Amino acid sequence: MESMKKYIMENWKLKLLSLGLAIALWFIVFSIGEMKKEVSVPVFVTNLSKDYVVMKKDTEKIDITIQGRVSVLKDVKDNDIKASLNLSDVKEGENIYSITKSNIQIPKGVQIGQIRPTAIKVDIDRVIEKRVKIIVKLDRKWIGKYGVKSWNPAYVTVEGPKQIWETRMFLDTRPINGVLKRDEEIVTVLFDLEGLPASKIKPDSVTVILRRQSGKETSWN
């Protein structure tokens, strides 16, 4: 017992300093062991009724501050973090949804800090279905050289946003291009869907019969 006391008291200032340094080092290591990281992740929508379509979100991504042990965060990639909006209660028009931790899926050992923005505005439109007439378009270089003899089908069924299709009565094809040499050509053409988001067309193409106009020679220019 006496020897133990002597050991403790011997150079006690140096030993106390060593203990203090050890405690300080432990706190430093503990502090360094935690880190923060900024990630930017896309926001996906779930449980949206087939009767509705998302026309616009005021942001496609949110920024999230995550934190955790260095050993965990060093292997975390942006696509390991998932953000989603439950649109089961959506209504036609403008909808505003809060973004909270419950909207975000994270790997084990990771905590969520800040979320920016904290709300997202989603514009919703109702989906309608209707028949529209097909308008066949020719590329400029074939106008006056070939004419449209017939096309099939004459109408297609479209399914898409009400604000686009409610008053629209026709659908253009993509301009017919390519090499045309024979007096009569049969081509399959897709539709021009530029500016027509979230629209489905059935069938998705039309068969067109072209006839060379009398007295017109054609060439590939």
Residue pLDDT, tens place only, 99-138: 999 999 999 889 999 999 999 999 999 999 999 999 999 9
Q: What is the count of structural domains for the chain?
A: 2
Alpha-carbon distance of 181 to 184, in angstroms, equals 8
**189 vs 11, residue with greater confidence:** 189
Judge whether residue 24 has pLDDT over 80.
no
Cβ contact 137:192 at 8 Å = yes
pLDDT at 84: 95
Does 40 share its domain with 113? yes
Alpha-carbon distance of 213 to 221, in angstroms, equals 18
Which of residues 126, 148, 182 is at a domain's end? 126
pLDDT at 73: 79
DSSP H or E stretch at residue 158? strand 155-161
State the average pLDDT over residues 3-29.
Answer: 64
Residue 3: C-alpha distances to residues 8, 10, 16 (Å): 9, 10, 19
pLDDT tens-digit series, residues 177-217: 989 999 999 999 999 999 999 999 999 999 999 999 976 55
Does 94 share its domain with 165? no
Does 48 share its domain with 114? yes
DSSP string of 16-75, one letter each residue: HHHHHHHHHHHHHHHHHTEEEEEEEEEEEEES--TTEEEEEES-SEEEEEEEEEHHHHTT
99, part of any domain:
yes
Farthest-apart Cα atoms in the chain, separation: 124
Cite the beta strand spans of 78-117 per DSSP E: 82-86, 93-98, 104-105, 110-116
Which of residues 126, 151, 169 is at a domain's end? 126
Cβ contact 126:90 at 8 Å = no
pTM of the entire structure?
0.73
162, part of any domain:
yes
Alpha-carbon distance of 177 to 187, in angstroms, equals 10
Domain that includes residue 153, residue range: 136-212
Does 107 share its domain with 45? yes
pLDDT at 15: 64
Does 140 share its domain with 94? no
14, part of any domain:
no
pLDDT tens-digit series, residues 89-100: 999 999 999 999
pLDDT at 56: 94
**188 vs 21, residue with greater confidence:** 188
pLDDT at 199: 96
Alpha-carbon distance of 80 to 104, in angstroms, equals 11
Side chain identity at residue 56, one-letter code: K
- Whichever domain contains 84, its CATH number is 2.170.120.30
Which of residues 97, 126, 155 is at a domain's end? 126
pLDDT tens-digit series, residues 25-83: 666 655 556 778 889 999 999 999 999 999 999 999 999 999 888 778 778 888 899 99
Half-sphere exposure (CA, 13 Å, Cβ side) for 90? Answer: 25
